[in-house]
Homo-oligomer: A and B are copies of this chain.
Amino acid sequence: MKKLKLELGENSYPIYIGSGLLSKLELLTKYIDSKKVMIVTNETIAPLYLAKVKSLLTDYLLKEVILKDGEEYKTLKTANIIFTALLENKFNRDCTLIALGGGVIGDITGFVAASYQRGVNFIQIPTTLLAQVDSSVGGKTGVNHKLAKNMIGAFYHPKCVLIDIDTLDTLDNRQYSAGMSEVIKYGLLGNIELLKFLQDNIDELMLRDKSLIAKIIFQCCSDKANIVAKDELEKGQRALLNLGHTFGHAIENKLGYGVYLHGEAVAVGMLMAARLSELEGYLSAQEVLEVKNILKKANLPTKINAKINAKDILLAMLVDKKVFDGNMRLILLKSLGDAFICSNYKKDLLDKTINQFIAA
């Protein structure tokens, strides 16, 4: 087992990474203040891991909420299901919520924890690669609005993150690839060694070599913890973590939440960012091809496979939260492994990029 710490003063918290950690839930007990513990999970994860988690937390008064699985359920309405369960069970301010699942479960549970009685404890037990390398760390919580992703939320940190890499054994291939998309993101945005490691080992990683997986999860969490510790509220460099996300969010929103997995939409979005970076003169065609190749090897999409209007994508991007008074900032690449926040790209090159990625 490895341990990382996200340094945020009195909000600092540990991230445990390893094999078999779901059998070591005693790691969690010091982060739970009272007997009342609510496990939030979904219909996919519950049959796999809920009984195990419950069997190891027998000292507690355990309740559970089992949500439907999918991005399309990451809504205020679903959050209210959890609020109702907390109230029906008379859970008070000293209760603890455990998010057992992927990014959707973590985001929605975190938001409910931030808002229930103006803030209660929560713990992240991410069970997808995407949640383990990205969404469970850093305190971004929230739900979607029908008009745009993640528009309703809070910066609110868990008391700890417990990553059992064995949970990836039950993750389907499509979800695994979607997680790999965020892993590739860390390489592209600021860690050229990681990118090279991925390029050299992508075949073994796709075959789920455990020791390699443990290595990349640790590296991604470490990179994220460093970035977030310096810029918790995304006033600056944390925005680099949004590489591919403004494009990706627009794709998810316009195609309908759940049609593309988040990681899939981000994969297309990162390639779009790379292509625009090329058009702006930062990347070579060869470098863009490298991005495309690593995404393809991870079985990720590299274009928008749907009939959709380019203008609609652009409008959806404008609603995305990175926009300031109409001047949309995008994360582009100066080179592979070196992202930057760009406001002065040419609008016609953005249009050209979007059009190139839409299926004819």
Q: Knowing A36-B325, A87-B319, A148-B87 touch, does A115 contact B118 (C-beta < 8 A)?
A: no
A155 interface neighbour in B80, B119, B323, Cβ under 8 Å: B119
Inter-subunit contact B114/A154 (CB<8 Å): yes
Number of interface residues of A (CB under 8 A): 39
A152 interface neighbour in B83, B90, B92, B233, Cβ under 8 Å: B83
A76 interface neighbour in B34, B76, B154, B325, Cβ under 8 Å: B76
Complex interface: chain B residues within 8 A of A83 (CB): 145, 151-152
Inter-subunit contact B154/A154 (CB<8 Å): yes
Complex interface: chain B residues within 8 A of A111 (CB): 115
Does A200 interact with chain B (Cβ within 8 Å)?
no
CB nearest to A79 among chain B residues: B76
Cβ distance A312 to chain B, nearest Cβ, rounded Å: 14
Q: Mark A129-159, 1 if CB is under 8 A from B, else 0.
A: 0000000000010100101100111110000
Does A117 interact with chain B (Cβ within 8 Å)?
yes
Given contacts A76-B80, A117-B153, A119-B154, 13 further A-B contacts (CB under 8 A): A34-B325, A83-B152, A84-B145, A90-B323, A90-B326, A92-B324, A94-B324, A115-B142, A115-B152, A116-B152, A118-B140, A118-B142, A154-B154
Does A35 interact with chain B (Cβ within 8 Å)?
yes
Does A180 interact with chain B (Cβ within 8 Å)?
no
Inter-subunit contact B154/A92 (CB<8 Å): no
Q: Knowing A76-B76, A148-B87 touch, does A155 contact B94 (C-beta < 8 A)?
A: no
Complex interface: chain B residues within 8 A of A325 (CB): 34-36, 92, 94
Q: Mark A317-360, 1 if CB is under 8 A from B, else 0.
A: 01101011110000000000000000000000000000000000
CB nearest to A80 among chain B residues: B76
Q: Which of A95-131 contact B (CB under 8 A)?
A: 111, 114-119
Complex interface: chain B residues within 8 A of A148 (CB): 87
